[in-house]
């Protein structure tokens, strides 16, 4: 850990080294402490470091719960370098008048690119092909060797049509896909613009060749993909998740892939991260898993860090940050 800056400035704790000039910019205006290791700080460290901090710049790996908020009595802003904020107890923060901010928008296209990359890779069995070549199992061109699912002209089901879901739908048009979507909010202008069809969850599962999840993790979406959901999908279906691991019951996913209830899955997120090397999911040839890197391009991660810093600086200077999660806190002040 390093200590940077002078005492008279607002104190900010940053839970990891950040790309670009993010820390330097923060340091100009704040008294900054940075957790410099690759693994997240422990609960004890987080408690200790936020006890006197006015600002916390954290990542999705940091659990900011009611207990931490109770101890961090000086805290005014929590800025997460993520679009998802399910790792923060928003109600507890709001009750204590602590502003929470996040970094939407800047990662939309990068994440959509990655979701599509997963979809294509799982459909056309890229990881299996790569393994086959490396393991000397490419013996001859064969009519039925590693045959997969066509993407062009297929039906895509998008679960949660927020910014990222919409960006995936735009990409699907280039593949002449029919695009269905479901979710709490219907978006008729976008339906019109992109030729989308709104349906319910069950209808989407029954008709989609590809199901891609772009919903937030909430009590309503936790384990939305359970045994029953996978059973409703086509046996040729490919499931893609770049949202949050806990939207899927991983036991149910394991059984669905093992018993070929669905054809394949490609996931960038798991219920417990990192996924243990011994996890049963890793034995499945029809599962592609990546280590939560959908937003991981150099430019996007730099933009996310910059935005997270802007949010802290704005909040501590009494300005309205661009991306408040609980703006009601601002109205009270």
40 lies in the binding site for ligand GLV (CB under 6 A): no
User: Shortest approach of ligand GLV to residue 304 CB, angstroms?
Assistant: 7
* Contact call for residues 269 and 242 (beta carbons, < 8 A): yes
For ligand GLV, the closer of residues 31 and 62 by Cβ is: 62
For ligand GLV, the closer of residues 218 and 259 by Cβ is: 218
Tell me which stretch binds ligand GLV (CB under 6 A): 78-86, 135-143, 186-194, 256-264.
78-86
Say if strands 2-4 and 31-34 run parallel, antiparallel, or are unpaired: antiparallel
Size of the site for ligand GLV (CB under 6 A): 6
User: Shortest approach of ligand GLV to residue 177 CB, angstroms?
Assistant: 24
Which residues neighbour 183 within 8 Å (Cβ) at sequence distance 6 or greater? 159, 160, 161, 165, 215
CA 123 to chain centre: 21
CA 290 to chain centre: 12
Q: Is 292 a catalytic residue?
A: yes
- The contact mask relative to ligand GLV for 82-101 (x = CB under 6 A, - = no) is xxx-----------------
C-beta atoms surrounding 18 within 10 Å = 23
241 lies in the binding site for ligand GLV (CB under 6 A): no
From CA 313, how far away is CA 157, in angstroms rounded?
A: 39
From CA 168, how far away is CA 245, in angstroms rounded?
A: 19
60 lies in the binding site for ligand GLV (CB under 6 A): yes
For ligand GLV, the closer of residues 11 and 323 by Cβ is: 323
For ligand GLV, the closer of residues 155 and 295 by Cβ is: 295
User: Shortest approach of ligand GLV to residue 146 CB, angstroms?
Assistant: 30
Both tokens assigned to 311: 């949010």
- The contact mask relative to ligand GLV for 259-288 (x = CB under 6 A, - = no) is ------------------------------
Using CB under 6 A, pick the residue from 101, 149, 295, 326 that binds ligand GLV.
295
Beta bridge partners of 197: 180
Q: Is 273 a catalytic residue?
A: yes
Q: Is 244 a catalytic residue?
A: yes
Helix (H, G, I), strand (E, B) or coil at 291: coil
For ligand GLV, the closer of residues 127 and 162 by Cβ is: 162
User: Shortest approach of ligand GLV to residue 60 CB, angstroms?
Assistant: 5
Torsions phi, psi for 56 (to 5 deg) = -130, 120
Active-site residue (options: 24, 255, 273, 319): 273
- The contact mask relative to ligand GLV for 104-143 (x = CB under 6 A, - = no) is ---x------------------------------------
The closest alpha carbon to 222, from 192, 252, 195, belongs to: 252
- Locate tokens 């101890």: which residue? 71
Helix (H, G, I), strand (E, B) or coil at 1: coil
Active-site residue (options: 11, 76, 244, 323): 244
From CA 281, how far away is CA 257, in angstroms rounded?
A: 9
User: Shortest approach of ligand GLV to residue 124 CB, angstroms?
Assistant: 25
For ligand GLV, the closer of residues 236 and 302 by Cβ is: 302
C-beta atoms surrounding 112 within 10 Å = 24
For ligand GLV, the closer of residues 164 and 177 by Cβ is: 164
Beta bridge partners of 13: 33, 56
H or E segment to which residue 159 belongs: strand 155-159
CA distances from 247 to 13, 65, 70, 75 (A): 30, 20, 28, 30
User: Shortest approach of ligand GLV to residue 295 CB, angstroms?
Assistant: 5
Q: Binding residues for ligand GLV, per CB under 6 A?
A: 60, 82-84, 107, 295
Residues serving a catalytic function are: 244, 273, 292
């Amino acid at each position: 850990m390093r200590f940077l800056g002078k005492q008279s400035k607002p104190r900010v704790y940053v839970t990891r080294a950040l790309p670009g000039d993010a820390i330097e910019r923060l340091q100009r205006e704040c008294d900054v402490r940075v957790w410099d290791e690759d693994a997240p700080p422990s609960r004890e460290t987080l408690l200790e470091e936020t006890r006197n901090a006015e600002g916390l710049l954290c990542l999705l790996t940091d659990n900011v719960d009611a207990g931490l908020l109770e101890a961090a009595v000086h805290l005014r802003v929590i800025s997460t370098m993520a679009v998802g904020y399910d790792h923060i107890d928003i109600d507890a923060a709001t009750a204590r008048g602590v502003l929470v901010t996040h970094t939407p928008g800047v990662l939309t296209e990068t994440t959509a690119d990655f979701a599509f990359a997963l979809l294509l890779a799982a459909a056309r069995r890229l990881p299996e092909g790569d393994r086959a070549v490396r393991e000397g199992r490419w013996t001859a061109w064969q009519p039925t060797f590693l045959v997969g699912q066509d993407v062009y002209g297929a039906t895509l089901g998008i679960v949660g049509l927020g910014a990222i879901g919409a960006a995936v739908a735009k990409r699907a048009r280039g593949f002449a896909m029919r695009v269905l979507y479901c979710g709490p909010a219907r978006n008729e202008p976008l339906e019109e613009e992109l030729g989308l069809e709104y349906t319910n969850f069950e209808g989407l599962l029954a008709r989609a060749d590809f199901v891609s999840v772009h919903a937030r993790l909430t009590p309503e979406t936790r384990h939305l993909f359970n045994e029953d959901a996978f059973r409703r999908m086509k046996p040729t279906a490919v499931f893609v998740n770049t949202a949050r691991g806990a939207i899927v019951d991983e036991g149910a996913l394991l059984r669905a892939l093992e018993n070929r209830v669905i054809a394949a899955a490609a996931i960038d997120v798991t219920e417990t991260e990192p996924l243990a090397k011994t996890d049963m999911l890793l034995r499945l040839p029809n599962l592609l898993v990546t280590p939560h890197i959908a937003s991981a391009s150099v430019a996007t991660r730099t933009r996310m860090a910059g935005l997270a810093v802007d949010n802290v600086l704005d909040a501590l200077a009494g300005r309205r940050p661009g991306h408040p999660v609980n703006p009601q806190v601002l109205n009270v002040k």
